[in-house]
Structures are given as C-alpha cells and as structure tokens.
Amino acid sequence: MILTVTLNTALDITYRVPGLRPHASHRVTEVTERPGGKGLNVARVLAALGHPVTVTGFAGGSTGATVRASLAGVPGVVDALVPVAGATRRTVAVVDERTGDTTQLNEPGPVVAPAEWNAFQEAYEGLLTGAAAVALCGSLPPGVPVGAYAGLVRTARAAGVPVLLDTSGEPLRRGVAARPDLIKPNADELAELTGSHEPLRATQAARRRGARSVVTSLGAAGLLAETPEGRWRAAPPAQVRGNPTGAGDSAVAGLLSGLVEHLPWPDRLARAVALSAATVLSPVAGEFDRAAYEELLGRGVAVTAEADAA
C-alpha cells in the first residue's frame, strides 16, 4: 500500500468558459467536481496505475462530506481522512476554452485545532505500519505547525518507510532538513528554497540541504533529477496543450509507483513525464488520458544523463 497525506484537502471545482475576460459575466459550458488537494490527485493516479492507496489528512463540514463520498467511488483508494470541526476548502479552476489557459482560486482551508493535529499524528503513525512509501503533499491548513512536514518525515524515516515531500515555502525548507528520500518542487519553489535560479545548481543545493534525491518540474520542458545514482533530464517528445492543473501531482504518482516497483531512475522519470503530459490532456486534475500516456511512453520520453553544474 502507498500512503498519501493531504493535510489541506479540497473539493476541486472546474469551470469551462468559451473565453475568460476580466470584469465580465461568463456562461459556463461545463462544471466538474472532484476530491482535490495534491495528495488526493496523486492517489487517484496511483490507483489508476493499479497500486492500492490509502489517503489521509483532514476533512470536515459539508464540503468534506462531499469529498469523502466521492472518494468512496474510486476503486483502489481507501479513505483514512481524519475529521475536523472546520469545513474543507474549495478550489476553483476556470479553463478558457479559447486559449487553454487555466485560472486558479484556492481557499485557505479550515483552522485545525491542536487536539485535531494530535489525532492526525497518531493516525499517521499507525498507517505507516502497512505502507511501502508515503507522499506528503501540498499546503498546510491554518493551525498546523509550519514544521509539520519535518516531523512527519522523521516519523516515516523512523518507521523505515521511504518518504516523498511535495510542498513549498517554509514547510519545504524545514521538511528538507529532516532528510526526506525525495522532494519534487517546481523551478520557482526550488529557487525559493536554494536562492539559485539555475535548475541544476539548485537541485544540487537542495541535496546538500538534506534531500536524498531531488526531482524538479520544469513545466513543458519536463523534469530534472539529481540523485545518488546520477543526474537526468526527461522531456516529452512534443509539447502538449491543455489544462496543466494536477500535472505535477501525476508526476509524483509516476515517481512513487516507480519507487515501489524498484524501477531504475530513467524509467521512473519517463513514466512521470508521460503521466504529467497525459494529465494536461485530461479535463480535470487527478485523471490522465490513458491512450495519450501509453502513446507518450511508446514514442519514447527523452531521458538524458546530465553533467555537473559548472
């Protein structure tokens, strides 16, 4: 079983409009709702790949109830979310059908009380006993300590469970110091962490700060990996256009599935890039275009070894 942690779960609402214009009314052509938050997106992709997944984090209020009801219909996903008094947040994505661009609106999330945070930590420690790997994903809701991920990384390491951290800002800085097995920031998040805007130097700097391996998302240019086994760049054979929401989460699912299957790094990266690109072609986060994924793998994601930064 793979465990994904989404402390700030969400109900993802996606609107599609013919064209998004400021200061104007819009007629929505399509509305979709899905359980959201980075770890839940990761879990749905992992389940679609055939990996059993348990999801944990917080859920509360009517929005949380909707999230849990939706999760109950996802084969291969077990709900171990911890209840809170506050209401789970909503996120709204507005997709401009004319340009393909997406505008995202993210609520902050419920205020988590100290007793609720303690209850989560107890549940998390118990869930680790059956986990082959754990992913710690996304933002922290109000009330959760900024060093929360650092503590969860240490708990996973003490249990002997490989841990992937995918967050940003101060939670990432503190989490890296706890020595996770893998971090997966985008280029901006990595630059904020290390102070370097050159991706290769920044990935090396992030490893020196404590991460065993670093995989950086470069957007349409693919992924850059800095690992004890080597350095690689992986890119799709052609740029794809669509809704990029959730593409990074699908890359995390590819990396996690490759880890538990003991695939070599180039194969993990090829899978992650193919899943990410296939997610851009899907209308909502947490799903991917299966035919496009298989075609991208078949056409060959370019994975090349990388030299040291100068």
How far is 306 from 256, CA to CA, in rounded Å?
A: 22
Sign of CA dihedral 284, 136, 126, 87: negative
Contact indicator for 10, 286 with CB cutoff of 8 Å = no
Active site residue ranges: 249
How far is 46 from 175, CA to CA, in rounded Å?
A: 24
For residue 275, give the H/E element and its range. Answer: helix 265-280
For the chain, what's the residue count? 310
Spatial neighbors of 113 by CB under 8 A, at least 6 apart, are: 84, 85, 143
Helical axes 169-177 vs 148-158, angle rounded to 10°: 30
Helical axes 187-194 vs 199-209, angle rounded to 10°: 60
Contact indicator for 273, 262 with CB cutoff of 8 Å = no
Terminal CA-CA length for the chain: 41
How far is 115 from 108, CA to CA, in rounded Å?
A: 20
Contact indicator for 211, 176 with CB cutoff of 8 Å = yes
For residue 77, give the H/E element and its range. Answer: strand 77-79
How far is 21 from 24, CA to CA, in rounded Å?
A: 6
